[in-house]
Structure 1
Amino acid sequence: MATLKPKVTLKTKGQEAYVSVKQLMVTLQWTASVDLDLMAFYKTKDGRVGGIFSDNYAGGDMGSLNTFPFIQLSADAGVGATGGQNEEVIRITKLDDMAEVYICTINFTDASQGQESRFSKYDAQVTVVDDKGENVSVPLDSSQPGAVAVIAKIDNTGFMGAKLINENRIMSMAEFQANIPGANQLNLASKIVLKKKGESVTLKPKSGGKVGEILVNLNWNQRPQLKQSGGLLSKIFSGGGQAIDLDLGCLFELKNGIKSAIQPLGKTFGAYNQSPYIFHCGDDRTGAWAEGENLRINGDYMQEFKRILVYSYIYEGVANWSQADGMVTIKQAGSPDIIVHLDDHRDGMPMCAIALFENVNNAFKVTKIVQYFRGHQDVDQAYKWGLQWVAGKKD
């Protein structure tokens, strides 16, 4: 067993090195055009399990250095398989409660498409540095196919303290989630989260240069109904117990100059295989449907589109977006889901412009907006659509 020295390289499976329990920094670096993700999964001495991984994943937690688990991830680099000087860092400030910590890297680019690639195709390396500046390097160079590289294990069960063990194991996602404590919390279904207003991502063409179907899903939490015995103040502050009815819709503009709206209000549901190549799949009055509300955009007619503005409005119930907790998911086959949370709430404003689709070189650039308005006409004026609006209602 080797004592930790500067620039120790653990090349062989099973090699070990003692590490300091005071401060530990784990760095993943690569330049190839692939989205790798550094993660830490743990099991505590009292049996709890968990994981620290990017909050671009559904349920992801970047962790904290000041509170349990005293592990923190710096950022999510390489999103969209971007090449360059990519780096992700995990810091660990306390191991007292931990029995085991596993340092892992996932090849999200291939794993999200159900493929198992070889990490040796890329130039990634993980370095572990203690508080004295001494480091252990573990190259990510396995030629075995798989989605996950379990790079190293920190074993803190021995009386001599924590030690770093070169695991050097390549696993499938199923094997990984079955054998690594806390790994079953990881869900590959969603990866790209547009967090800030103005952030954007491009939906790229697939085979034959076509974008394919794009599904825009709106889902939200149905408010529990209040009992009739509730007092007046209870009804006032809760909106009388009425469930919130959110509707999904969009403004569209085609390159031939045709402009209009698709939404349940007015029963303008559109069409998928003919102009305007956008179809609303139906109205969910309560948010009780597991699938929420959906818009289908026929990306095979990409050349016909100029722009699409996706919005939601509260048709019934108090305009309380914070309780509705709405979320839009944009799905394209063969690509990670794109998540847009209806955050930065402006309660009292019944309409929210969520995302703008723009045709840029026959690919959709999707930009997060999440801006709240008093109604359709205000949205129209803000984005210069130029439609005429009249009051309407649903049957």
Structure 2
Amino acid sequence: MELKQKGEDTLIDISRPFTVTMTWTTAADFDLAAAYETKAGQQGLVYFGDHGNRDKFPYITISEDKGVGDKAGNNAEVMRIHNLDEMNYVWLFCWDYGMVKVGQAARFKDSDITLTLADDNNNRISVALDTGDSGNVCCIATIDNSATGHAKLINYSQVGTLHGLKTLEQLINIVQRLVI
């Protein structure tokens, strides 16, 4: 299944761990990250600077940073989500590291970023980045686990512009469509 357009969603099974893979061949230093909000209202971030933890909260881990130095090729960053029982939301972000540092627009429009969720049975859902907006950080997808009994994956494709990434609130503001 593929969520091609902003706003498209589907139900997902979060009863087992799953993998989130972001791939691209564009010569850019894109980074995969997950911002989250727990059912108790706690917020946090798993990214190249904090790889998370598999065996204790937040039960999310991320692979090594790829594409460093704007390398083209078969780049992939992999995140493993082991347990979402305590989460209301997980926002899956991509940012262009070099462009965030200098506050300039990223190369999203000209890139081939693909986000794929896969469970252990190899059931896959792809999310296409659906934005022509200019910015250097994008919330590609949201996992909404706030309703009891089911979780939804949503193609969010919300872009924002940062000049340096200093606080988690900067990313949350993009999700909430606030001006940064």
Aligned counterpart in structure 2 of residue 114 of structure 1, from 103, 127, 133: 103
Measured after TM superposition, the shift of residue 178 of structure 1 is 5.0
Unpaired stretches in structure 2, ≥5 consecutive residues = 164-168, 176-180
Percent identity over the alignment? 38
- Over 4 Å off, 4+ runs: none
Q: Which residue of 2 aligns with 1:30?
A: 24
Where structure 1 has 5 or more consecutive residues not aligned to the other structure, the ranges are 1-7, 56-60, 182-395
* Maintained 8 Å contact 1:20/1:131: no
- Per the TM alignment, residue 179 of structure 1 is displaced from its structure 2 partner at its CA by 1.6
Pairwise CA distance, 1:132: 2.2
Q: 2:13 aligns with which of 14, 20, 43?
A: 20
Alignment of 1:174-185 (within 5 A): 176-179=170-173
TM-score by length of 1: 0.41
Corresponding residue number in structure 2 for 1:50: 44
**Higher normalized helix content (fraction of residues):** 1
Aligned-pair CA distance for 1:131: 2.6
Distance 2:107 2:70 in 1: 15
Give the Cα–Cα distance (whole angstroms) in 1 for the partners of residues 27 and 130 of structure 2: 16
The separation in 1 between residues aligned to 2:172 and 2:43, in whole angstroms, is 13
C-alpha RMSD over aligned residues: 1.7
Structure 1 position 85, deviation (Å): 1.2
Question: Matched residue of 2:41: which SS?
Answer: coil
Alpha-carbon distance, 1:177 to partner: 3.1
Greater length-normalized contact order (CA 8 Å, ≥ 6 residues apart): 2
User: Secondary structure at 1:121's aligned position in 2?
Assistant: coil
Report the secondary structure of 1:146's partner residue. coil
Does the CA-based 8 Å contact 1:118-1:142 persist in structure 2?
no
- Per-residue CA deviation, residues 287-306 of structure 1 (Å, 9 max, x unaligned), is xxxxxxxxxxxxxxxxxxxx
Write the mapping of 1:228-377 to structure 2, written as runs, cut at 5 A. none
Larger CA Rg, structure 1 vs 2: 1
TM-score normalised according to structure 2 size: 0.87
Q: Is the 8 A contact 1:150 1:167 kept in 2?
A: yes
Q: Is the alpha carbon distance of 1:131 and 1:118 closer, same or farther for their aligned partners in structure 2, counting shifts above 3 Å? A: same
2:2 matched to which residue of 1? Answer: 9
Which residue does the alignment assign to 2:137?
148
Deviation at 1:142, TM superposition (A): 2.4
